[in-house]
Amino acid sequence: MAPYYLEAYVVVLGLVLLMLEAFGPAGRKQYLGLAAIGGLVFALILLVFTEREIPGTNAEMTRFYVIDSQALFYKFLALICTILVLLLTLDFRRILSEFTENPGSEDGTGEYYALPVFACAGMMWMASAKDLVSLFVALELVTITFYILVAYMRRNVGSLEAGVKYLILGALSTGFLVYGIAWVYGTLGTTDLAVISTMLADPGAAALADRRIPLLFGLALILLALAFKIGAVPMQLWIPDVYQGAPTPTTAFLSVGSKAAGFIAALRILEPFLQSEFARAQTVFILLVLAALTILYGNLAAIPQSNFKRLLAYSSIAHAGFILLAITAWHGDPEGPTLTSGEVVGFYLGTYLLMTMGAFFVLVVVRNATGSEEISAFDGLACRNPALALTTAILLAALAGLPLTAGFYGKLFAFQLAIDSKLWWGVALGFIGVAAGFYYYFKVIRAMYWRPAASVEPIEIPVISRYALFTLTLLTLLLGIWPQPVLWLLQG
Amino acid sequence: MIVLLILIPIAAAIAIMAGAPARPAALGAALLNLVLGAIFALTFTGNPDDGGLTIQILEKPNIHLALGLYDGMSIILMLLTVIVTFAAVLSGRCPEGTERIWFPSTLFIAAGALGAFLSTDLFFFYAFHELALIPTFIMIGMLGRGDRKEAAWKITIYLAFGSIVLLAGLLWLVNAAGADSLLFDDLLASTIPADQQKGIAAFLLVGFGILVSLFPFHSWAAPAYASAPAPVSMLHAGVLKKFGLYGLLRLYPMISEGLQPWLTWLIVLLLGNILWVGFVTINQKRLDLMLGNSSVMHMGYVFLAIAALIAAGSESANPIAKPAAIVLMFAHGVSIALLFGLSDRIERKTGTLELRDLGGLAKSAPSLAFLFGLAGLASIGLPGLANFAGEVLVFLSGFKEFADDPAGGLGPIQVATILSLWGVVISAVYILRAYRRTFQGPVVTATDGARDLTFAERIPAVFLAFFLILPGLYPNTLIQFMAHDAPSAEPPQIVHDADRPPLGIPRWSPGEGSMLTEH
């Protein structure tokens, strides 16, 4: 099967779900969620059996569609992430239904199971995009879906506010992206990233010397738009408010899926610039500034937070900073003594998915039980449900980057690349960030174990969350001892 | 096979969390570990690969899960861990309903410490130590006494910060060494450019220093130990804190030059540990805070041995410095564990640890008084007990340079050694004062009718006391393990005359190359 049928399949799946929602029986909408999950699991199976190259009969496709081990890995991430988000939604549906059509009934929740499938298709396409235009289209598919998902709880003011903020800033960043692409196209006469790569790598790029400023200007505009997607400084301001206001599954999807898609786009766009002598120094400089500021902002601003969801928002900014650091310290040679930046970013995002999705599952369980998302809702969790507290402690320790958890390696690899590239400022600020990270993640662990519980009533974990949390935590620990499998996946 | 030492406590901990009977499972695991540890130590042939394990877990960077008895230092610290763990599990009386947190945490701390001492790969050496820290924090904050939350938060912040500084130093070290893998064998065989050694050494000194409560990074220690449940203070003060010293000694050959410029700083700081913290200790009003501070103070002596090693320039130039440090680490670990275990008993029997509320306890609890006195005297450095052997070796290592060349005059190390000797007097003052106020004098309300140690309570205490007396009388029981070490260093030996009471005093002849060989 040709690889691009996979995206087509996922889009069709989404359309079928929408039809089912519109014309199917009213009432219990969670069957739509189960159908979506089933369909995506089938897509995972298809992913294993797709061909690894584009058939010769459709050579035109190769101009804007690439299928390599990296693309496959990010498609895999997108599918896994969407499946987890849908599972999370099933446990979240009671809260969701309170703020939609006919509060308390599930009448208004149907589309919420179909929309993530479209976003998933966009992310999968983005993983394969090698042309600025196809990349833009894929990105917009994701973003427009998210406009709806963020504001989905339309009877909740917080969700609406988040939706408006996301819409305005998202539209702004789309504008930057198109404008940047226009500048690059105007300078180089192409939007094909492979062609751009050869043009920049060509030692005769001297012909481009007088066009360096417009090219870099275009790149800077594109970077701004990407910073919006990955949640990096200077486009990070929307994150805390939107994350806090959006329905929790959307927040999880934003902070993992959307971010991963943003990073694969960033890798594809930046690679030609970082590989070439022509623009490397300037690109590295801009990226280093962005990475350092993102690490500092995310970690330091997280310290005073008292709301767990907001804390996770700042933590997602902080993680974006560490991943940017790995890109800044560009290593492109797969045969070299260190991992390549692409591998490090993929690894980081893969482990980040496990830990962050786990944290959101915990949040939904706690929200269901206590009705609150504040850190104080975690007080005395160790007495109310020791297993949940232990799981949360492991996941947070992993997010903080403690050794023997998967979270440690991502940071280790990023620092290793940065040290190897002698980015001392990045390394120094990174360590400050890690130290601050210990502080704010341990604040939650402290609440769970040291504080007395507000009520002694035990907390029940719903079945789906129980298995999901168990699997995610187990993987976090296993990959903490043996991380090589993720790298094997990444290397094909 | 050696991996069993780590797997057994972890398996037992998981089993307990899943519902196995807590105390029997924990005790069984600790006992099994004790037996296995003794067998591994006694059958060790000097080949680190014996019974070891090396599995590659990552290709780039080249990281292995590698465990084994690397040298005598690993063996002695492994023995210390299994001994103290057994006593800690045996002596811990947990509050109702907390067995499923209490015993697994204790076992996880033990497993982490064992992993750190048995790893022959730098990565897991670091990682296992972190594994041990988390349950430590949780136990102090959750089940501690007194001002537990503040103490727990303080130790968490300090040690997490120390670990990060250490991690930065280790990353730099690995980067500068450019070795094929992170195995100790490969790392120690590589050389680090001289211009980078100084910076790496600074990071490692501060990082390890915070973990070992080097002055002025020591203020987390006493409140944490005072608040911690007994098994945690026993295991952390007795065993886990030695990780920093072990790490410095282990990595010393790689950064021996880089440490030289910091020698003066280190000497000033270690004197801060011995003298400043010593005076602070004298002033303590609570028995547990006094013990916590004394544990900080005694780290100064181990740092003195390390300073002597740094001043000498290599392990072969001062062959007794490293054995001195290790013997003292073992002795201090056992004695402080015994003291913390007993002070926990005192609190349970009298309900207080305020020195002014105590008195005359020896009348009603003679065996408690005897064992506490024994451990206290050991920590002062009474001849015949293990700490004496360690301290004497430390002082001798301080004067090694002087002995080799008396015409050279007193160097900074010798001055520091002379000043450190006053630490013994300071220890005597605070231990004897605390002993007098607790056990002697008239019986007061708190101690009136306090019962003596029961038979079950005596077992762990006597067990630990045995390991103070045995190496005290015959230090070779420990030092023999060092004979397996790198061939460049002459194995030190302590031999007694047949007609002298075996007090553990090493015979020393200035004329010979090695100070500890018989002549």
Domain that holds residue B458: 259-492
The pLDDT confidence band at residue A492, using thresholds 50, 70 and 90, is confident
Considering only residues B156 and B516, tell me which one the structure prediction assigns the higher pLDDT.
B156
Please tell me the distance from the alpha carbon of residue B166 to that of residue B129, in angstroms, as a whole number: 12
Instruction: Verify whether the Cβ–Cβ distance A481 to B60 is below 8 Å.
Output: no
Average pLDDT over residues A474-491: 91
The pLDDT confidence band at residue B496, using thresholds 50, 70 and 90, is very low
Please tell me the distance from the alpha carbon of residue B314 to that of residue B463, in angstroms, as a whole number: 37
Is B314 a domain residue?
yes
Tell whether the model's pLDDT for residue A235 goes beyond 60: yes
The length of chain A, given as a count of residues? 492
Task: Tell me the per-residue pLDDT of B53-63, one tens digit each, with 9 for 90 and over.
Answer: 888 888 878 88
Average pLDDT over residues B44-51: 73
Residue A82 to chain B, least CA–CA distance (Å): 29
Tell whether the model's pLDDT for residue B475 goes beyond 90: no
Is A255 a domain residue?
no
The pLDDT confidence band at residue B484, using thresholds 50, 70 and 90, is low
Instruction: Verify whether the Cβ–Cβ distance B57 to A481 is below 8 Å.
Output: yes
Instruction: Verify whether the Cβ–Cβ distance A386 to B152 is below 8 Å.
Output: no
Q: Chain A contacts of B148, Cβ < 8 Å?
A: 450
Residue A341 to chain B, least CA–CA distance (Å): 12
**Most A CBs within 10 Å, among B98, B102, B171, to test the A interface:** B171
Note whether B235 and B112 are within 8 A (CB): no
Is A486 a domain residue?
yes
Is B464 a domain residue?
yes
Domain that holds residue A307: 279-492
Instruction: Verify whether the Cβ–Cβ distance A402 to B134 is below 8 Å.
Output: yes
Tell whether the model's pLDDT for residue B380 goes beyond 80: yes
Is A182 a domain residue?
no
Please tell me the distance from the alpha carbon of residue B519 to that of residue B517, in angstroms, as a whole number: 6
Nearest CA in chain B to A442: B156
The pLDDT confidence band at residue A205, using thresholds 50, 70 and 90, is low
Is B332 a domain residue?
yes
The three-class DSSP label of residue B505 is coil
- By Cβ distance, the residue of A338, A382, A403 closest to B60 is A338
Average pLDDT over residues A227-231: 92
Average pLDDT over residues B71-92: 90
Tell whether the model's pLDDT for residue B485 goes beyond 70: no
Is A291 a domain residue?
yes
Task: Tell me the per-residue pLDDT of B210-240, one tens digit each, with 9 for 90 and over.
Answer: 999 998 899 999 999 999 998 999 999 999 9
Of A127-136, B228-237, B305-314, B403-412, the least confident: B403-412
Note whether B276 and B268 are within 8 A (CB): no
Q: Where do we find the tokens 């190897």?
A: A420
Predicted pLDDT at A405:
92
Q: Chain A contacts of B134, Cβ < 8 Å?
A: 393, 397, 402
The pLDDT confidence band at residue B491, using thresholds 50, 70 and 90, is very low
Please tell me the distance from the alpha carbon of residue A164 to that of residue A201, in angstroms, as a whole number: 42
The answer, for A220 touching chain B at a CB cutoff of 8 Å, is: no
Tell whether the model's pLDDT for residue B502 goes beyond 60: no
Lookup: tokens for A139: 């990105």
Q: Where do we find the tokens 């607790």?
A: B438
**CB burial class (10 A; 0-12, 13-18, 19+) of residue A479?**
buried
Average pLDDT over residues B49-78: 86
Q: Which of residues 57-116 of A touch B (CB under 8 A)?
A: none
The answer, for A28 touching chain B at a CB cutoff of 8 Å, is: no
Considering only residues B495 and A198, tell me which one the structure prediction assigns the higher pLDDT.
A198
Average pLDDT over residues A44-67: 83
Please tell me the distance from the alpha carbon of residue A125 to that of residue A141, in angstroms, as a whole number: 10
Please tell me the distance from the alpha carbon of residue B35 to that of residue B28, in angstroms, as a whole number: 11
Task: Tell me the per-residue pLDDT of A140-188, one tens digit each, with 9 for 90 and over.
Answer: 999 999 999 999 998 889 999 999 999 999 999 999 999 999 999 999 8
Is B29 a domain residue?
no
Instruction: Verify whether the Cβ–Cβ distance B57 to A483 is below 8 Å.
Output: yes
DSSP B91-154: H--PPTT-HHHHHHHHHHHHHHHHHHHHB-BHHHHHHHHHHHHHHHHHHHHHH--SSHHHHHHH
- By Cβ distance, the residue of B100, B131, B152 closest to A404 is B131
Instruction: Verify whether the Cβ–Cβ distance A393 to B134 is below 8 Å.
Output: yes
The answer, for A139 touching chain B at a CB cutoff of 8 Å, is: no
The answer, for B153 touching chain A at a CB cutoff of 8 Å, is: yes
The answer, for A454 touching chain B at a CB cutoff of 8 Å, is: no
Domain count, chain B: 1
Is A51 a domain residue?
no
Residue A339 to chain B, least CA–CA distance (Å): 6
Domain count, chain A: 1
Three-state helix/strand/coil letters over chain A: CCCCHHHHHHHHHHHHHHHHHHHCCCCCCHHHHHHHHHHHHHHHHHHHHCCCCCCHHHHHHHHCECCCHHHHHHHHHHHHHHHHHHHHHHHHHHHHHHCCCCCCCCHHHCHHHHHHHHHHHHHHHHHHECEHHHHHHHHHHHHHHHHHHHCCCCCCHHHHHHHHHHHHHHHHHHHHHHHHHHHHHHHHCCCEHHHHHHHHHCHHHHHHHHHHHHHHHHHHHHHHHHHHHHCCCCCCCHHHHHHHHCCHHHHHHHHHHHHHHHHHHHHHHHHHHHHCCCCHHHHHHHHHHHHHHHHHHHHHHHCCCCEHHHHHHHHHHHHHHHHHHHHHCCCCCCCCCCCCHHHHHHHHHHHHHHHHHHHHHHHHHHHHHHCCCEHHHHCCHHHHCHHHHHHHHHHHHHHHCCCCCHHHHHHHHHHHHHHHCCCHHHHHHHHHHHHHHHHHHHHHHHHHHHCCCCCCCCCCCCHHHHHHHHHHHHHHHHHHHCCHHHHHHHHC
Q: Chain B contacts of A415, Cβ < 8 Å?
A: 171
Cα–Cα nearest to A261, from A145, A119, A434? A119
Predicted pLDDT at B280:
93
- By Cβ distance, the residue of A337, A404, A483 closest to B58 is A483
Predicted pLDDT at B117:
94
Residue A102: left if φ>0, alpha if ψ -120 to 50, beta else—which one?
left
Residue B178 to chain A, least CA–CA distance (Å): 10
Percentage of residues in chain A with pLDDT exceeding 70? 99
Cα–Cα nearest to A129, from A8, A222, A275, A267? A267
Instruction: Verify whether the Cβ–Cβ distance A487 to B156 is below 8 Å.
Output: no
The answer, for A397 touching chain B at a CB cutoff of 8 Å, is: yes
Q: Compute, in degrees rounded to 10, the torsion defined by CA atoms B201, B204, B207, B210.
A: -70
Note whether B368 and B488 are within 8 A (CB): no
Cα–Cα nearest to B117, from B315, B319, B326, B309? B326
The answer, for A420 touching chain B at a CB cutoff of 8 Å, is: yes
Is B325 a domain residue?
yes
Considering only residues A134 and A61, tell me which one the structure prediction assigns the higher pLDDT.
A134
Q: Chain A contacts of B65, Cβ < 8 Å?
A: 481
Is B44 a domain residue?
no
The answer, for B421 touching chain A at a CB cutoff of 8 Å, is: no
Cα–Cα nearest to B245, from B283, B178, B281, B295? B295
Instruction: Verify whether the Cβ–Cβ distance A449 to B142 is below 8 Å.
Output: yes
Percentage of residues in chain A with pLDDT exceeding 90? 64
- By Cβ distance, the residue of A338, A386, A431 closest to B100 is A386
Is A476 a domain residue?
yes
Predicted pLDDT at A86:
95
Task: Tell me the per-residue pLDDT of A317-364, one tens digit each, with 9 for 90 and over.
Answer: 999 999 999 999 999 888 888 889 999 999 999 999 999 999 999 999
Residue A466, C-beta contacts closer than 8 angstroms, at least 6 positions apart:
none
Is A330 a domain residue?
yes
Note whether A91 and A68 are within 8 A (CB): no
Predicted pLDDT at B181:
87
Instruction: Verify whether the Cβ–Cβ distance A449 to B58 is below 8 Å.
Output: no
The answer, for B425 touching chain A at a CB cutoff of 8 Å, is: no
Tell whether the model's pLDDT for residue B487 goes beyond 80: no
Note whether A88 and A357 are within 8 A (CB): yes
Average pLDDT over residues B255-262: 90
Nearest CA in chain A to B173: A419
Instruction: Verify whether the Cβ–Cβ distance B164 to A446 is below 8 Å.
Output: no
Average pLDDT over residues B429-449: 87
Tell whether the model's pLDDT for residue B127 goes beyond 70: yes
Q: Chain B contacts of A427, Cβ < 8 Å?
A: 168
Predicted pLDDT at A206:
65
Q: Chain A contacts of B131, Cβ < 8 Å?
A: 403-404
Give strand ranges (E) for B33-72. Answer: 53-58, 63-67
Residue A415 to chain B, least CA–CA distance (Å): 8
Task: Tell me the per-residue pLDDT of B287-337, one tens digit each, with 9 for 90 and over.
Answer: 999 999 999 999 999 999 999 999 888 888 888 888 999 999 999 999 999
Predicted pLDDT at A204:
66
Predicted pLDDT at B349:
85
Tell whether the model's pLDDT for residue B161 goes beyond 80: yes
The CB density around residue B18, as the number of other CB atoms within 10 Å, is 10
Cis bond before residue B216 (omega within 30° of 0): yes
Average pLDDT over residues B98-103: 85
Please tell me the distance from the alpha carbon of residue B290 to that of residue B469, in angstroms, as a whole number: 23
**CB burial class (10 A; 0-12, 13-18, 19+) of residue B495?**
exposed
The pLDDT confidence band at residue B517, using thresholds 50, 70 and 90, is very low
Mean pLDDT score across all residues of chain B: 86
Is B358 a domain residue?
yes
Residue A345 to chain B, least CA–CA distance (Å): 14
Average pLDDT over residues A112-133: 93
The answer, for A338 touching chain B at a CB cutoff of 8 Å, is: yes
Which phi and psi angles does B445 have, rounded to 5°?
A: -55, -45
Tell whether the model's pLDDT for residue B516 goes beyond 60: no
Cα–Cα nearest to B450, from B372, B361, B369? B361
The answer, for B138 touching chain A at a CB cutoff of 8 Å, is: yes
Task: Tell me the per-residue pLDDT of A390-441, one tens digit each, with 9 for 90 and over.
Answer: 999 999 999 999 989 999 999 999 998 999 898 989 999 999 999 999 999 9
Is B450 a domain residue?
yes
Is A290 a domain residue?
yes
Cα–Cα nearest to B352, from B341, B339, B343, B365? B343
The answer, for B150 touching chain A at a CB cutoff of 8 Å, is: no
